[in-house]
Structure 1
Amino acid sequence: MSDPQVAMLMLALLVATILLGFPIAFTLLAMGIGFGFYAYYSPDVPFFENTIFDLTVNQTYSVISNDVLVAVPLFLFMGYIVERANIVDKLFFSLNIAARRVPASMAVAALGTCAIFATAVGIIGAVVTLMGLLAFPALLKAGYDRQFAAGVICAGGCLGILIPPSIMLILYAATAGVSIVQAYAAAFFPGLLLAGLYMIYVMGRALLNPRLAPKPPKEATEMPMRQVLWMMLTSFVPLAVLILAVLGAILFGLATPTEAASLGAFGGLLLAAAYRTLDWEMLKSSVYLTVRTSAMVCWLFVGSWTFSSVFSYLGGHEIIKEFVLGLNLSPVMFLILAQVIIFLLGWPLEWSEIIIIFVPIFLPLLEPFGVDPLFFGILVALNLQTSFMTPPMAMAAYYLKGVSPPEVQLVDIFKGSFPFLFIVVLAMVLLYNFPDIALWLPNYVYGR
């Protein structure tokens, strides 16, 4: 068996073991070391002096010392602190009152809350779970259709994978070697576009079929304007100031992503203190969750880079590159093929596995097809919205099911999420036909 054939066997075994449920990070590491021992084997070299062991140590050190990845635990800590600061319930109630005259006002308020909260948190599970506890029962109590309400919460909760400060964009930037600052700038307008399309959809559905989203009783939403303004001032403004301070510092070059993440973490602590929710148990829980998630991300990178190095050394990337180039695809067809593959991978796999394991396979093909890596990353980020809403993984659906009333079935959540998948595809079509939606801001600010 030739080395390239061994590389393809390596990839096939990886996919098989992942589907069997083995831990991803350690599967990558084991595969990398096992096949790397074969790749670098020499009968004259002692067992423990095989090059693969040096490579693994070097890759581990590279991950730990990577400046880009330092921002991950800081943004995670900011998100977990904000999640526990009891801001979201006030924000949802305030937006619901402010949007009381638009169709499906409570659904629009839920999507707006998800977008703002996702911007501050960037953790999909946290947004879907918290909104499932807070907004979903309120929507059902108001008479909203069960499937319609479930789709709103799932779709809105997934916006955090695209809207900065997205953890996914940090990982893509580290994987693809692009600027995280430019990636955040490129994702800004596509994130607003997708959230806006979601809101247009729910308002349109409510106009066509008012029974899906009944209007609230007038007495339940009528308040003096002064009271509405005060509610917005105490719920929306503090979180908006924190978000603008963090993203503004990054986008305008006032701070590195790591420095801005530190500012955000400190600001999250101040917010929690201002809302009188900061205590030792909350702080300890946030630190524990931050460390656990950060460790998972770092070990995924260690395993992925070890695996990718061995896979490339054996000639695996070259086989895939030659095969795709041999198809004589146009750039449009290549992008469609890549996005279809990523969409299908989203059924059995989570986004972190797709970004760290499979996206690097496409990266060497971007230059021959003339595709901007930054533009490709935003398309992938849009596409990965679907990985949270399509079975069998569909983590957003499972998060929501875990906190839903017993009468809400998983099939209801899937059916409610399905129309939002078409909206994601529409956003990707718009982005491809009008690439300046993503590229105008980084081009204007950074002169790309």
Structure 2
Amino acid sequence: MTDPQIAIMMLSLFIVLVLLGFPIAFTLLAMGVGFGYYAYYQGLPDSFAGIFDNNIFYLLNQNTYSVMENDTLVAIPLFLFMGYVVERANIVDRLFFSLYMAARNLPGSLAIAALLTCAVFSTASGIVGAVVTLMGLLAYPAMANANYDKSFASGVICAGGTLGILIPPSIMLIVYAAIAELSPLRLYAAAVFPGLLLAGLYIVYVMIRAMLNPSIAPKPRQEDIPPPSKIYLDLLISFVPLTILIMLVLGSILGGLATPAEAAAMGALGGLVLAAIYRSLTWQKVKESVFLTAKATAMVCWLFVGSWTFASVFSFLGGHDVIEHWFLAMNLEPWQFLILAQLIIFLLGWPLEWSEILIIFVPIFLPMLDTFGVNPYFFAMLVALNLQTSFLTPPMAMSAYYLKGVLKNKIELMEIFRGLMPYLGIVIFCMVLMYQFPGIALWFPDYLFGEYIP
């Protein structure tokens, strides 16, 4: 076999192993080292110690050091810590109730409140599993008690919970910035309007569906609605402080007052202050937040080390060249390249999560953007929207499994899948809108930082 053929076999074997359930980070690492040992092999060693005289081990060491010294990635543990602290500060239940009361006169008011709570909380957290799980415990029982349709209610929670990987400050965009060597500030600015657009389309869909079929989302009883003074008080107590924290973090980044890492540090401190204000700052909760942050950060770091090692060996063997030549041989127009690339990413969302797609497969397309004259920030936003589908597409729709895990026998998995389907269509529609009107993604960063020049 030639080296490029071995590279393609390497990629195919990785997909098979992931589908079999092997841990992604360590699968990448093992395959990178294993195939890299072959790629950099220099003959039989003179001694047992000489077995380790192979450049793959030097590459692994350098990649590990590069990840650890990457300033951009410092924001990840700080944003994670902010999210975990906010999650444990008992803010979300107050937030959901107050938003429900504020939206009480709208069709599907509970579903709208759930979407808005997901958007706000996921912005502060950025952890899809945490948002879907918490909202499954909080919002789903409220909708079930109000006789909402099971599929309708579950679809709202699963779709709303994924917004955190798109709406800034997003951990996914930090990872993308590190992979593509783009400015995280520009990426955050580019994601503002696509994120708001997608959330807005979700809300419009919920309202239209509730108006066309009121039986799936009954209106609240008048006796259950508190007086306006209590509603305003709840909004002031729950919605305003968290929103101010998010706006300060995001505003300091977009305004150039702080780097993402510095803003994340402010957010982490702000989360502790909010927890103290709500009298939820206990040693046990802080310890849990630190432990979960360390665990998630370690996995992200190993993902980067493994993926960079895997990608380096894949490229050294000629894998990237094979794929690039395949694309170029089709003589595609830029719009055809974009559609094909996004279709591949969409199909990969069926068996894989966003992290594998982003770290392994997106870098394959990045070198071709200049060839086809595609703005890398515009491509990044198409990918960011597309990656929403990796949480919503069966059979691996992780948001569905997160919700099923907390609801257990209260709902069947197929009911959740049925509830997800309309939101997949909305994501695709949003991508089409952004393709037709690139200014949705590009106007704001160009306004803040000037027109992008490659």
Q: TM-score, normalised by structure 2?
A: 0.97
User: For 2:409, what is the secondary structure of its paired residue?
Assistant: coil
Aligned partner of 1:297 among 296, 300, 312: 300
User: For 2:104, what is the secondary structure of its paired residue?
Assistant: coil
Distance 1:408 1:13 in 2: 35
User: For 2:374, what is the secondary structure of its paired residue?
Assistant: coil
Aligned partner of 1:103 among 107, 110, 117: 107
Q: Deviations over 1:49-95 (max 9, x none)?
A: 21111111000000010011111000000000000000010011101
Partner of residue 208, structure 1 = 212
> Is residue 12 of structure 1 aligned with residue 16 of structure 2?
no
Aligned partner of 2:90 among 86, 89, 102: 86
Distance 1:443 1:87 in 2: 35
> Is residue 182 of structure 1 aligned with residue 151 of structure 2?
no
Partner of residue 236, structure 2 = 233
Partner of residue 281, structure 1 = 284
Partner of residue 170, structure 1 = 174
Distance 2:114 2:135 in 1: 8
Structure 1 vs Structure 2 CA RMSD: 1.1
Aligned partner of 1:413 among 408, 412, 416: 416
Partner of residue 24, structure 1 = 24
> Is residue 432 of structure 1 aligned with residue 435 of structure 2?
yes
Structure 1 runs, 4 residues or longer, greater than 3 Å off: none
Whichever residue aligns with residue 311 of structure 2, its letter is S
Distance 1:188 1:35 in 2: 41
Whichever residue aligns with residue 386 of structure 1, its letter is T
Whichever residue aligns with residue 372 of structure 2, its letter is F
Q: Deviations over 1:289-338 (max 9, x none)?
A: 00010011000000000111111111110110000110111111111111
Partner of residue 147, structure 2 = 143
Whichever residue aligns with residue 203 of structure 2, its letter is M
Gaps of 5+ in 2: none
Whichever residue aligns with residue 151 of structure 1, its letter is G
How many residues end up aligned between the 2 structures? 447
Partner of residue 373, structure 1 = 376
Distance 1:68 1:192 in 2: 25
Partner of residue 3, structure 2 = 3
Partner of residue 118, structure 2 = 114
Q: Deviations over 1:154-202 (max 9, x none)?
A: 1111111101111111111110110111111110110000000000000
Whichever residue aligns with residue 93 of structure 1, its letter is F
Whichever residue aligns with residue 208 of structure 1, its letter is L
Q: Deviations over 1:111-162 (max 9, x none)?
A: 1111111111111001101110000110111111111111111111111110
Q: Give the CA deviation at 1:405.
A: 5.7
Mapping for residues 69-84 of structure 1, pairs under 5 Å:
69-84=73-88
Partner of residue 57, structure 2 = 53
Q: Give the CA deviation at 1:47.
A: 2.7
Q: Give the CA deviation at 1:343.
A: 0.9
Higher mean C-alpha displacement, 414-423 vs 373-382: 373-382
Aligned partner of 1:254 among 217, 235, 257: 257
User: For 2:42, what is the secondary structure of its paired residue?
Assistant: coil
Whichever residue aligns with residue 9 of structure 2, its letter is L
Q: Give the CA deviation at 1:7.
A: 1.1
User: For 2:220, what is the secondary structure of its paired residue?
Assistant: coil
Mapping for residues 119-138 of structure 1, pairs under 5 Å:
119-138=123-142
Distance 2:52 2:145 in 1: 64
Distance 2:406 2:15 in 1: 31
Q: Give the CA deviation at 1:236.
A: 0.4
Q: Give the CA deviation at 1:2.
A: 1.6
Distance 1:104 1:241 in 2: 27
Distance 1:412 1:36 in 2: 45
Distance 1:333 1:351 in 2: 23
Partner of residue 396, structure 2 = 393
Q: TM-score, normalised by structure 1?
A: 0.98
Whichever residue aligns with residue 29 of structure 1, its letter is L
Distance 2:404 2:8 in 1: 38
Gaps of 5+ in 1: none
Distance 1:131 1:44 in 2: 58
Q: Give the CA deviation at 1:44.
A: 7.3
